[in-house]
Amino acid sequence: MRKEILKLLFTADDFLSGEQISETLGISRAAVWKHIKAIKDEGGIIEAHTKRGYRLVALPDLLKPDYVGFFTQRAADIVWLREVDSTNEYAKRMAREGAPHGSIYIAELQTKGKGRLSRGWVSCPGDAIQMSMLLRPEFEPPKAPAVTFAAALGVVSAIRRTCGIEAKIKWPNDVVFGGKKLCGILTEMSSDMDRVEYIVCGMGLNVNQREFDGEVAEKAISLRMASGKKQDRVRLAAAMADDVRAYCERYILQGIDAIFDEYCANSVIIGKEIKVLSGNKTVTGVCSGFSKQGELLLDIDGKTQAFMAGEVSVRGMEQYI
């Protein structure tokens, strides 16, 4: 019933009286007030006037399907978690239990968030979007790495149309702005020799952090810091659910040619001199592009060398990119 009340308020052009709501939904005015209070307790802003009724000013800043669902058709795919070890780990557990293709897991807090190469990733509740999407593509394991290409394009698209920020992509798994990291993407796979069982694509997007501490401040940025204003996590999570799913489906159904040129056009390292860190070894060269298998192509003294995403890190010559 709370969802129905919220929908009435969300779609109303002006105030709705308690009497209008109770008559429309067939419940008492006391029940209406109870649900209004519950929405406000979760952080929703609702104006209340004795003679005019109720008006929704802002949805709660929680990434529940009930709220995200106002901006996406994917709400039925979303599982909301107040706290979890890692959305990727949770998604993998659900995959093993048979969860369907397209399932989306969003957490307000991760206690053991992780990035590539076993690095940790931490954020406070309300600051970020931690989302993992479960995919069950019917293709061979060598095609899996380029799923990160599709996910990165989806994140960039969501940021641009929701926040108006011209984010770009840093191979292999970062979305960046102004030379600093906005979002990390971690793609993990379960497969046998010939078939992918499932892929989990995890995304950690810095949204409303005001600042970062220590060494992180040198390479990280949030959408709030980039734009100078607080961002709507609910709308942004909905856009990510839509756009990441759309780009991943395009890749799964049509292949790499359907997204490759767009990915290259949004890269911040093509044509730049970069350092590739692999274990204790550092190689310097100019990024000449990427292979359609997801590899970085580095021009080193006139010769091209390919690097896989799971093996290396990339840095600019003087900064993060």
Long-range contacts of 290-293 (CB under 8 A, 24+ apart): 290/171, 290/260, 290/263, 290/264, 292/146, 292/256, 292/257, 292/260, 293/142, 293/143, 293/145, 293/146
Q: What is the mean pLDDT of residues 284-299?
A: 94
DSSP E strand stretches across the chain: 45-49, 53-58, 78-84, 104-110, 128-135, 168-170, 174-177, 180-191, 196-206, 273-278, 281-290, 296-300, 303-307, 313-316
Rounded to an integer, what distance in angstroms lies between the CA atom of residue 212 and that of residue 204? 15
**Angle, alpha carbons 87-114-307 (nearest 5°):** 115
Backbone phi, then psi, for 242, in 5-degree steps? -70, -50
Q: What is the mean pLDDT of residues 273-286?
A: 90
pLDDT bracket for residue 68 (50, 70, 90): very high
Percent of the chain with pLDDT over 90: 82
pLDDT at 37 over 70: yes
Domains and CATH numbers, the chain: 2-58 (1.10.10.10), 65-265 (3.30.930.10), 273-316 (2.30.30.100)
| Residue 129: predicted pLDDT | 97
Q: What is the mean pLDDT of residues 139-155?
A: 95
pLDDT at 123 over 70: no
| Three-state secondary-structure class, residue 187 | strand
pLDDT at 46 over 90: yes
pLDDT bracket for residue 196 (50, 70, 90): very high
Residue pLDDT, tens place only, 73-83: 889 999 999 99
pLDDT bracket for residue 122 (50, 70, 90): low
Q: What is the mean pLDDT of residues 282-295?
A: 93
pTM, to two decimals: 0.92
Rounded to an integer, what distance in angstroms lies between the CA atom of residue 256 and that of residue 277? 26
| Residue 117: predicted pLDDT | 45
- Residue 294 near residue 172 (C-beta atoms within 8 A): yes
| Residue 248: predicted pLDDT | 97
Q: How far is CA 233 from CA 85, 163, 216, in A?
A: 21, 10, 22
pLDDT at 116 over 60: no
Q: Chain-wide mean pLDDT for the chain?
A: 92
Q: What is the mean pLDDT of residues 61-83?
A: 95
- Give the H or E element holding residue 43: none
